[in-house]
Structure 1
Amino acid sequence: MKIRGEWVEFPVSLSGESLHLNEFLQKEIGASKANISEWRNTHSIKVNEEVISNQNPLVTNGDSVLLHVFREEEDEIVPEYRELAILFEDEHLIVLNKPEGMSTHPNKAQETGTLANALASHYQVSGQNSKVRQIHRLDKDTSGAIVFAKHALAQTLLDKALQDDQIKRTYVAVAEGRLHRKKGTIKEPIGRDRHHAVRRRVSESGQPAVTHYQVLQYLREQRLSIVKLQLETGRTHQIRVHLSSVGNPIAGDELYGGNPEIFSRQALHAAKVFIKHPLTGEALNIRAPFPEEFNRFMKYVDEEEI
């Protein structure tokens, strides 16, 4: 894979003799049918420098397939400058450390004040023709690492990696009380709470949800547990609901029974994300520094355990 201006070149290297172009794009690169349709409609595919529109030619070893992935795109997100904490960035993706108290994205047209607005401004100022494409989200009062794709192919590949549990997200929470086991898995399904517009709850009719946890430290005098958590699924409020369901709500999480006097908001931080780079295959193990308010708890933990 090689970047050539606004195009990305993929040399054809097959174990067999040849593949039709569509099959090559899907099997060898990981593109979706929607990607291919969009590229064809916008004359964004070349084979050996020749633009391909309706044809589906055979490609073979030694051929070159080029995709116009860095095209200028319109975005409905309003750019709004604010300083970003960038943990990783290249031409294909960006990972940010989201501050607490900021929504990930707007919920209505022309809304500002979100991380997406700040990222749109970053793209604009740095001359990048990218839409804001979030791969997952964090609650407004959860801080930490969050991944965005910079073009449609990267989004397709990262979405599939997330779906296949190949993007590993590690969280740290300060939970009230002492968990019954030092290490375990919570597998309770999560659904809406019909008595509350925002809150979720454990429900037999809910969506499957799996949270793995490990207690890093129990603070006996404060009756608090510092817990490392990893998600197999990404349900709304999943960690918050699961910890509350076992009697250990997150400190500061009033919605699920947490004490606001311990922490000014829910004490939950997305501390690390592991990604296999969608284009280069490089293993990226990205850490997000903890906010200041976490420091009084993190001094009890060896961060290498996270």
Structure 2
Amino acid sequence: MKKNRGWLEFTIPKELDGAFLQDILTGPMRISRRMIQKLTRSKGILYNGKPTFLKRQVKSGHVVQVATEVTTRQSLQPEQIPFPVLFEDDTILVVDKPSGINVHPIHPGQSGTLANGIAWHWQQQGLQLPVRPIHRLDRDTSGILIVGKSAYSHQHLDRQLREGQLDRVYVALVEGEPEEDTGTLKYPIGKNPRTPSKRKVREDGDPAVTHYKVLERLGPISLLELSLETGRTHQIRVHLAHFGYPVLGDRQYGKASPLIKRQALHALRLSFTHPGTGESMELEAPLPEDMQSAMERVRNL
């Protein structure tokens, strides 16, 4: 499969001679059914360069073309908001999100978000693309975030996320020192009926699994590495608070701290398969200065 000016091209191999086009799209081309519906409406699927239908049978040596984009509309106002770029090509953008800003607007017309900054970043390259983050980070959580630069790359990475093939690793400073060096937290999470914007551990909640490893013990605080099997809202923060070691500075699930002005949670590392090349990638966002500073202050006590 190769990319050619906004189109993906797939030449039918001998072993798939006679297969249905729809099976080629969802199989080796890994196009989601939702995107296929959009492509069908926009005439974004071609067979040997001509519009076609999903139930046709294909022949070896023939070529299927799929548009990588179904819309180029951009509704965000570009704003010059600085953020480190960890990796970028014509398919994906990977950034180090600063703490203190939302990933995207939470209500119409909101500005000052990372998405506004990405729109500006692309505008400087002469690009006008919808901003499509693959996953989310809380406003006060810093760290690595991946964005698809086309509908195809977004749905490809979203599938990896849903199938557990996109691995996310976080680090957090927590209050206290867990007894065990490693462990797994399995607490179901649901909405807090008193405060709908918050979550809590509850028996009728959704299954949630977080693995932790203690990287450094500093007496009053510890540095933990955390990986997720599930992706519930506020999962790490809720799990650690229930475990008895809340994230340092987490005002929602713990308490404010003189060591740091926000929750000390950082998305450290991301592993995934590149949607264009098929290459295995692993990228890392360095530990932010405010978390390093908090650790240094404790070491110097």
Classify the TM-score, shorter chain: over 0.9
2:91 aligned residue: 92
2:37 aligned residue: 37
**What letter corresponds to residue 11 of structure 2 in structure 1?**
P
Q: Could you tell me how far 1:43 is from its partner in structure 2?
A: 1.7
Cα deviation, 1:224-249, whole Å, max 9, x if unaligned, reads 11000001111111111111101101
- Residue 271 (structure 2) pairs with residue 277 (structure 1): no
2:165 aligned residue: 166
2:51 aligned residue: 51
5+ residue gaps, structure 2, are: 297-301
1:227 aligned residue: 224
Whether the 8 Å CA contact 1:70–1:130 is kept in 2: the answer is: no
Runs (4 or more) in structure 1 with deviation over 4 Å come to none
Within a 5 Å distance, the mapping from 1:59-74 to structure 2 comes to 59-70=58-69, 73-74=72-73
- In the aligned structure 2, how far is the partner of 1:17 from the partner of 1:298? 61
1:198 aligned residue: 197
Aligned residues: 297
Task: Out of 147-156 and 107-116, give the one that drifted further.
Answer: 147-156
Whether the 8 Å CA contact 1:251–1:266 is kept in 2: the answer is: yes
- In the aligned structure 2, how far is the partner of 1:111 from the partner of 1:98? 18
**What letter corresponds to residue 117 of structure 1 in structure 2?**
N
**What letter corresponds to residue 251 of structure 1 in structure 2?**
L
Cα deviation, 1:55-102, whole Å, max 9, x if unaligned, reads 633223322211222465113322222223111112222111100001
**What letter corresponds to residue 255 of structure 1 in structure 2?**
Q
- In the aligned structure 1, how far is the partner of 2:124 from the partner of 2:45? 28
5+ residue gaps, structure 1, are: 300-306
Gap change, CA 1:201 and 1:55, over 3 Å in 2: closer
Within a 5 Å distance, the mapping from 1:109-258 to structure 2 comes to 109-220=108-219, 223-258=220-255
Gap change, CA 1:183 and 1:14, over 3 Å in 2: farther
Cα deviation, 1:169-228, whole Å, max 9, x if unaligned, reads 0000001101121101101011111222432111111111110100011112xx211000
Q: Could you tell me how far 1:252 is from its partner in structure 2?
A: 0.7
Whether the 8 Å CA contact 1:143–1:269 is kept in 2: the answer is: yes
Gap change, CA 1:14 and 1:178, over 3 Å in 2: farther
Cα deviation, 1:108-161, whole Å, max 9, x if unaligned, reads 111111111111222222123421111110000000001111222222221111
- In the aligned structure 1, how far is the partner of 2:206 from the partner of 2:113? 28
**What letter corresponds to residue 139 of structure 1 in structure 2?**
D
- In the aligned structure 1, how far is the partner of 2:68 from the partner of 2:40? 12
1:5 aligned residue: 5
Within a 5 Å distance, the mapping from 1:284-299 to structure 2 comes to 284-296=281-293
Gap change, CA 1:6 and 1:144, over 3 Å in 2: same
Task: Out of 128-137 and 288-297, give the one that drifted further.
Answer: 288-297
The alignment-based identity, stated in percent, is 39
Whether the 8 Å CA contact 1:76–1:109 is kept in 2: the answer is: no
- In the aligned structure 1, how far is the partner of 2:54 from the partner of 2:282? 41
- In the aligned structure 2, how far is the partner of 1:191 from the partner of 1:70? 36
- In the aligned structure 2, how far is the partner of 1:130 from the partner of 1:14? 37
CA RMSD of aligned residues (A): 1.9
Q: TM-score if structure 2 supplies the norm length?
A: 0.92
Q: TM-score if structure 1 supplies the norm length?
A: 0.91
Matched position secondary structure for 1:121:
helix
- In the aligned structure 2, how far is the partner of 1:18 from the partner of 1:275? 32
